[in-house]
Amino acid sequence: MRIIYCGLIEYERAMKLQKDFVREVMAGAPGALLLCEHPKTLTLGRAYHQQNILVHSDELLCHGVTVVSADRGGDVTLHAPGQLVAYPIVDLKHRGRDLTVYLRKLEQTCVDFLLDFGIVAEQGEGTRARGVWVGGAKIASIGIGVSHWVTYHGIGVNMTTDLELFKLIRPCGLDVAMTSVKKLTGLSSSMSVVSEKFAGHFLRVFDAKNHSS
């Protein structure tokens, strides 16, 4: 598994990178894990419903939020600085061709990662509750795409994200409170540090080796 740290990157540029890696993996290259942050962006999944954006477009502009369509599952979600975003490019043909197992492993990676910050989180139950939760609040949202059994898109974990931005939408189409590592613990770590921690848990959960070097 190649680990790629992209830093703060425009959402559409990250989508192009993912598609490039998907093509490489289809051609036989090792999988990849892209780790990044995005500027303020609403992404509209394949199950998007317009009523889940709660403000007019001019208010989104006032907040500096752009809107992008995404070929992933799920409804509307939000990315912003302070959110760790992980995009695994994984060939599931060699991993049982089971999307449910894949999603559960991705959620488990996040649960294990959050324990490093003293946060006891849990995986969502049922399709509508996908993601990772702390009590009744959601700390990580998940939405994937799959092409010829190669995954892309992934999971966003709120580290120091401005939670007020989530009031612009119904996250994933749900009336749900969002939370973050900073809100729960007061901790604020650099994104390079948390990216490395997440990558370590991902490699362990998916029983993969780092082939970046």
| Annotated active-site residue in 36, 62, 110, 172 | 172
Residues with Cβ within 8 Å of residue 195, at least 6 apart in sequence: 5, 35, 84
Does the annotation mark 172 as catalytic? Answer: yes
Tokens of 126: 């049922």
**What separation, in Å, do the N-terminal and C-terminal C-alpha atoms of the chain show?**
10
Tokens of 90: 């994984």
Give me the amino acid identity at 119.
Answer: I
Q: CA 187, CA 184: separation in Å to the nearest integer?
A: 8
- How far lies 19's CA from each of 11, 13, 16, 31, 71, in Å? 13, 10, 5, 12, 11
Q: CA 119, CA 89: separation in Å to the nearest integer?
A: 27
Burial 126-151 (b: 16+ CB within 10 A, else e): eeeebbbbbeebbbbbbbbbbeebbb
* Residues annotated as part of the active site: 172
